[in-house]
Structure 1
Amino acid sequence: MGRYRISYQKRLLAYLLFGGLFPLLLASAMILYAADRVYENTQAKGGRAEVQRISREIDNLVGSYQRLMNPLLVRGETIAFLRGERADVENIYGDLYAILAGRSGEAAIYLLSADGSQVIATDDLPRDYRLPEHLHWGLLGRAVEGQDWVIASADRYEADRRETVFSMARAIRQGEELLGFAVIDVRREALVPLIQRVQDGNEGQIILTDRYRYVMMDMLDHHREGFSSVFSTPEEGTASESVFRDYAYSSSDTGFAVHLRQRLDSAPLDYLFRLVLMVDAVALCMTAYLAYLLSRHLWRPLHSLALAMRRVRSHDDFSVQVDAQRGDEIGELALTFNNLVSHIRTLLAENRERERTLRVAQVKSLTEMIKPHFMYNTLNLIKWSAKLGDSEGAADIAVQLGKLLRASVSMKEFVTVAEELTFLRTYLKIQRRRFEGRLKVTVRVESSAYGCYVPKLILQPLVENAIQHGIEMAERGGCITITGAREDGHLVFRVKDNGQGMSPERQQEVLARRDDNHFGLYNVHMRAVLNGDESCGVELHSAEGKGTEVILRLKHWEEAPHYD
């Protein structure tokens, strides 16, 4: 495509506009990128700080329980109770509930003698703490081996441990003698307010795991606690991969890890993006408006001319015209285009008129060729009837022939199906007299087709061909069945005989007009095509010794067409 010739001033203005728009878009992209990086870093810093605060709060909770319990474990009355000696149990209970500070639902404390005979508990004793059978197993076994407090996650699959998140235990000794254990179960009710207080309304999924990544607590879904993945890994390319960020922090004191999955809040970035988009949109509109003003005077008429040429090429629409009022070279080009289209339109109209005239001439020629064909056969029949002395038969044949001649010489090129069938029955009267009872004809045409129009004398050659080439040579005569119906926008007639039939090679010769004995079939075929479309015409279905079926497909006409 050639370049439009634009003045230097206009090109310079276009370059300046482009030079102003491109840096604006580049700066907008850099601002959005930098804002996104800063926002993500801020979110990441906040997420890491949040899990560290939660971890410190849990460490403080654990430390507070241990500090409150340590003085109680070395008191004389506690030692006496564990030895099975008489002690002030009510005082010990009071100290335990004082440690819980009225929050008995958040934790449970157990004092257990080593032989299991002495138990002080603020709640039902879990099965795992029954002594002496569990002395060297689980949490108590680890406490026996250690000298200080030990901590472990609770078994989420035990029915009596569902609300316990983790447990702490310490072996109570006097010298080398093991007297018993102090056990603290920390429950979900103690951790949920703690975590919510730290989050302070921030959204995010909190999960606690031990050093073995055993899920001790899931704030959103309790059913995922136990041996399961901390977070489901988002598939590559999915929305979760870019919308969520995961943070974790492990405590060196307890070994517990706090995991946070946080949804990135895109509202600030969306606001900034909309603001930048609005600024860019305003700049773009101004640039587009200036470009429109500059190019309108030159581009618009050329574009109109291109659309007109495309319409002529794609839709063969030669009525299109373009504005040719300009006084420059573009106006001269538009005027030339209009004159060219008008000239082509005139040539096409003349060509269509010549084709229509030729088509009418072909149809009339084919119709006239039929008349002498059946007239010769009928006159021959009258001659032989007269020679044989059948004057009454000859007179009747002459009457029927007169009817045929009146119909054939009428000025109408198209007749209704009902009129065509009347003409055909007149012709069949002549043929029945000729064959003296050896010819049987059945006509079944749907009444809905009677009012449709067909070319005149279109069925008679088919019946004549069936008689002459299918039945005439058979001594016993034969049967002809004529049917007609409307099918898919066409009129379909079938003429079937039980005569001698023909070979496939001869069928091809008949339709190709290489067989002069079947000229009538070729004639009907050409008339059907000329008065219809490509799907119209004659089809032959025949087998030697089994008869022939001729299928005639005609265009459906509700009104007679006119070729004048």
Structure 2
Amino acid sequence: MKRKRRRFRFQLGAKYAFTCITLCLLITLFLTTLYYSYFNKKITDQTENYLINMSVQTSKQIEKSMIDVNEVLFCLQKENIVQNYLYAVNHDSYTDYQEYLAKQLLQKKVYDYILFDDNISHVCFVSESGKGAYFTKTAKLLQQDPSIKPQIYRAGGSPVWEGFDETRQYIRVAAQINSLLTMKPLGYVVLYVPRERIENNISGLSYVRNGNVFLVDNNSNIISCSSEDLVGKKMENRYLDYLNLAKTMKFQTISNDGYNEYIYYIRLQASGLTLLTSIPKVSYQNTIYDMRGFLLSVVLSVLSVGVIFAIVFAKSIGHNIRRLQRAMNEFGEGEFNIICTVKSSDEIGMLSQQFNMMVYNINDLMDRVYRETMLKQEAELKSLRMQINPHFLYNTLDTINWIAREKNIPQIGWIAKSLGDMMRYTINGTDFAYVKEEVENIHNYIKIQEVRYGTGLQFEELVDLSLYEYQIPKLIIQPLIENAIIHGLDGKEETGIVRIAGKMENEVLRFSVIDNGIGMEQKKIDQILTDNNELLGSERGAIGLKNVNQRLKLYYGEYHGLLIQSIVDVGTEVSFCIPLLSLNRVSDAKL
């Protein structure tokens, strides 16, 4: 049995601990997941905004250089010196010397545009006839590529950014030159932009952590990149698959074999090239990984505190439960004075209080049963002492009644009859009687007392007839009237008045016996209502009141005893209240 109890305690404590730990874990995981998701989204949004802003700023710087180059290209297209030179070359109208002078004039005009412009280092004019003029700010000569002519002519005079030349040091920008008079092609011009001018805006960018910035032409060739070894190569497919040339700019996250990247591309309107920035996602998620470790440590700390709290909490509850269990075990073994000392304000404390109240009520019930048993035993002993059989006494009184009638002495007859009726009412075996029967018994008693006191006794009965159907303990009112007559009116010179009243108040029956006798002091009232018989001493006249008070408490509980109100030399009122008991409920009231 002890082993089972220990197992039960362990399981109960474990349940409390497991419940607390589980709740703590679920709440912590929920909040951690929520916070991690929010923080992850916040970092991603900030990274996206930062990447977009920096890419846009970089593209603006690159595009500004490209716009400057396009403006020089446009000015050369409409320059009269250029127009005249190409026209003359195409029609072979120059002598060698005239061509030399024309080139000198053309060179002067070209240098006016490019001498102080670091974006352009070489300029080459090619006529329809294939002849050309080449100008440079450096001593380095570059080979011309006639294969680019068809692409230039397809643009119809718009700038064409052709990518880098064979040296990969320059980016070629070309445009068709049309005659301002006939709008027919005269040739084309090619500008050479140092690649470093573009890459200066790309290389060394602090926001590109372990990533790359690509400048890609329309053929997906990388013409400039922050990583030199990628220049001249084709753009990788993992970027091309996400490159949507229908849009001018876009931010995306791509994944390739578990490798995640942020990419952002912008179409440069001045050149038609695409600027694409690629950054490994992990580079910007180190903060998230650090936060993940921090949150893990927080979860472990919270769980540790939760486990400790759960164990302490479970032990506290288990300790109170064991106290209550020990008290119940001792009570079950016969220790009826046990008190459970759990003082907590939770449900266990309430159970402890209810257990203590139950112990008190059981002890009170046992005491009431014991006192009732003692009273019954005392009554049985008194009955044994009586040598006269009650039935024999009743028959004798009935005989006296008939003899008195034969002798024409009616007073003796009805006295004997009243006494006989009282005797028969008394020896009836039931403990309860109807209010009507109790009132009739009181009338028989008053008839006998009126013979003794004559006109010195006046009796008034004010019991509602509606109460006659209810039952009350037998001989519960008559002792009160007897006490009022014998101890209240005895020795009183003027007429003594005894009034009995009965009525229904708030679902209870209220009876009162009132007299105008000598009254009594509060000390004597307290002695009557106390449970200690020794306090009365030789005041035997109060025994009747005391017995009635005890009987009421035995039948209906401690709150249904007598209520005595008395004023010396004025009178006394003795009253009591009992629950409604109809004939159908009388058996429930019997103990």
Same fold by TM (over 0.5)?
no
TM-score by length of 2: 0.41
TM-score by length of 1: 0.43
